[in-house]
Amino acid sequence: MMMYAILAVLVVGIGLATWKAPRLTSVIWWSLIATIFFCSALLLALPGDFSTIALWLTLFVPICWAVFQFWCYWDSSKWRVTLSLITITVVSIGVVVSIEPPV
């Protein structure tokens, strides 16, 4: 029960922070979460040896995170990047949940 309370506080806090300062929250929070889930989805979706793909994606994570952060400041729209990063996160979560992990 305590875990659900902590999760609820985090979701409300992140939602409020995103509403108040969408670009700052995108740089700090959504770019990191989108990077983690995007690379996780790539790890499961790409064909080939799991360990080789995991190694290359480990090297790709900082580059992907920097690109997402740069994108947050490059685009002048207030909500476009935030909604795009949230969409990337949701689609990546769907891929991670739907694909069977390699054995």
Residue 3 lies in a domain: no
Residue 1 lies in a domain: no
CA distance linking residue 14 with residue 100, whole number of Å: 30
- Judged on CB neighbours under 10 Å (0-12, 13-18, 19+), 61 is middle
Residue 64 lies in a domain: yes
> Residue 68 in contact with residue 85, Cβ under 8 Å?
yes
Residue pLDDT, tens place only, 40-82: 999 999 888 888 999 999 999 999 999 998 888 888 888 888 8
Sign of the Cα pseudo-torsion (16, 18, 24, 29, in order): positive
Range of the domain at 62: 21-98
Domains: count for the chain? 1
Residue holding tokens 């685009």? 75
pLDDT at 10: 85
Residue 6 lies in a domain: no
Residue 12 lies in a domain: no
Residue 9 lies in a domain: no
